[in-house]
Structures are given as structure tokens and as C-alpha cells.
């Protein structure tokens, strides 16, 4: 199989996506060594080729739990393809043990890739908010996918694990999903239509501005301060929250950054209604 911390990709050989569309990826990390492997992180990158280097765009990362010898962890991930990333043939790179937390017998097999073909969005003549309701697209809506600002309307809830916050506030932090009928296991047609109409109203308010109102979970690259991108989560339960600021630091791109002094100074104000 693969060496300790090795990587496999469960994905069609080539996928096609339109700018502003959603890409679904699946992968697994396998410990094929003779001893246990500690927790680590898998990073996702967008690249013009199959080699990871400083020109690639960081998309996101996922936590990988400690693995006993011979065991694997399956991960799935969805992200929205930003039109600023260009069209044509692209590669999503999967980097296992991306911060070198695991001591491995083979360090050369931690990179895999999936090929995607990106087509331009031909539906640019009609505002996206004018499209008729489609239940299958409720959680992939984008009003302006190429914008430099993002307003994220999070209706499907979120479970946070494997972060520094979990060390202090519990192994699992759950933000509940949008619910109007008391059934939290699924969204009814009425709830999906409500979400669609809420997105339409918010998106139409921001049509004059360079803002993307989306129901698809944005990648960290859409939230980087140096690119003037921000995210607003519409549905938050009461309680204490923490803002994570991401910036370009110094260090080896492959093994991780060592200096986040580039983040600068921030002033944050807001009202929860």
C-alpha cells in the first residue's frame, strides 16, 4: 500500500467543474507501518501541475486522527471553485502529514492528486438570484464567485474538531443547523426553499458591491485578510466565539510557516441579531 502516513485518493480520474461550482473530493490516509502513527494534517492545494511548490494555492486542511498500524482514515471535502483561479486543466494536490508531525519510514509517498477540468461559467448574462428554485443546488449557491469579499450563509451547521479550541473547550464543538420543523436529521422542501429565498434576498442587497454571497463553505483562501476577503456567518447560536486570522508567514511551504508577523493589526466590531 503506502508508507507510514501514506496517501490514497478516491476520485474520478478527471472531473469537470464550472467556475463558481462545487467540487467534491474524497481521500484516505493509511498507516502501513508496523507501529502507531500520531495525529497529523492533510492539506489541499490547487496547482497547474502535479508538483507542490510555492506557486500553488492553499485551499484547506483536514485533521487526521492517530492511526494504529494498518488502519486508515477516510476524509471527504467540498469546496467552491473561485473564478479568479482560472480555467483549463488543474490539479488538486493532497498532502498527507503536511506539517511533518509523523516520523515515517518513507517520506516520498505523501502527495497525491486529482485532475479537474475547469470551464468558464456561461450563465453570466442573467443574475444568479433570478434562477428558479432547485433543491439540489441549495448548498452550492454563489451570487458572484469571482468577488474579493465573501458572505457565507451557513445553514447546515458545523462540527469543529482537531483544533486548538477543542483542547480547551471539548473534543467536539457543534454549531446547529437551520431548522424550522423540529426535524434536525434532514431539510424539508419548505426549509430548502426558505434557505434559497434567504440567500436571494441577501445576495440582491449586495448586487452593487464586489461581494459573493454563498451557501457553500468557502475555502480559507477566500478569507485571507491580505486579499480583502471576509466571511460573515448568518446563523450563530449564542455563546463565545473565536476569530482565526490567516496570513502569509515565513518558512518552508511544505513543512509549515514559522512566523505570522504579516498578519498586522485588526479592529473587529459587529452586532449579532
- What confidence tens digit (pLDDT) does each residue in 30-67 have? 887 788 888 888 899 999 999 999 999 999 988 989 98
- Tell me 172's DSSP state: -
Q: What is the mean pLDDT of residues 187-211?
A: 89
| Full set of structural domains in the chain with CATH | 6-119 (2.60.40.10), 130-263 (no CATH)
What element of type H or E holds 194? helix 189-205
What element of type H or E holds 26? strand 22-30
Q: What is the mean pLDDT of residues 87-111?
A: 84
Q: Are the CB atoms for 201 and 224 separated by under 8 Å?
A: no
CA distance 140 to 231: 16
E strands in 120-260: 149-152, 158-160, 173-175, 211-214, 250-252, 256-259
Q: What is the 3-state secondary structure (H, E, C) of 140-163?
A: HCECCCCCCEEEECCCCCEEECCC
The cell for 177 is 443547523
Better-scored residue on pLDDT, 87 or 263:
87
Which residues does 7 contact at the CB level (< 8 Å), separation at least 6?
Answer: 27, 28, 29, 30, 42, 94, 95, 96, 109, 110, 111, 112
The cell for 184 is 434536525
Task: Reply yes or no on whether the pLDDT at 259 is more than 90.
Answer: no
Amino acid at each position: 500500500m503506502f508508507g507510514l502516513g501514506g496517501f490514497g485518493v478516491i476520485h474520478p480520474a478527471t472531473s469537470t467543474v464550472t467556475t463558481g461550482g462545487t467540487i467534491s473530493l474524497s481521500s484516505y490516509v493509511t498507516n502501513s507501518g508496523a507501529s502507531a502513527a500520531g495525529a497529523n494534517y492533510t492539506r489541499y492545494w490547487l496547482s497547474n501541475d502535479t508538483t507542490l511548490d510555492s506557486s500553488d494555492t492553499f485551499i484547506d486542511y483536514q485533521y487526521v486522527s492517530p492511526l494504529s498500524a494498518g488502519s486508515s482514515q477516510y476524509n471527504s471535502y467540498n469546496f467552491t471553485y473561485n473564478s479568479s483561479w482560472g480555467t483549463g486543466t488543474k490539479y488538486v494536490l493532497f498532502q498527507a502529514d503536511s506539517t511533518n508531525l509523523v516520523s515515517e519510514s518513507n517520506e516520498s509517498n505523501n502527495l497525491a492528486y486529482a485532475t479537474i477540468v475547469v470551464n468558464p461559467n456561461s450563465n453570466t448574462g442573467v443574475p444568479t438570484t433570478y434562477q428558479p428554485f432547485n433543491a439540489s443546488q441549495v448548498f452550492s449557491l454563489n451570487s458572484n464567485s469571482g468577488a474579493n469579499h465573501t458572505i457565507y450563509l451557513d445553514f447546515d451547521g458545523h462540527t469543529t474538531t482537531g483544533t486548538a479550541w477543542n483542547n480547551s473547550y471539548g473534543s467536539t464543538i457543534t454549531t446547529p443547523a437551520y431548522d424550522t420543523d423540529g426535524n434536525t436529521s434532514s431539510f424539508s422542501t419548505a426549509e430548502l426553499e426558505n434557505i434559497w429565498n434567504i440567500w436571494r434576498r441577501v445576495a440582491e442587497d449586495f448586487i452593487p458591491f464586489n461581494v459573493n454571497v454563498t451557501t457553500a463553505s468557502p475555502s480559507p483562501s477566500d478569507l485571507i485578510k491580505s486579499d480583502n476577503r471576509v466571511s460573515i456567518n448568518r446563523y450563530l447560536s449564542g455563546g463565545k466565539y473565536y476569530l482565526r486570522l490567516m496570513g502569509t508567514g515565513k518558512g518552508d511551504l511544505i513543512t509549515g510557516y514559522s512566523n505570522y508577523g504579516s498578519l498586522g493589526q485588526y479592529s473587529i466590531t459587529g452586532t449579532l441579531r
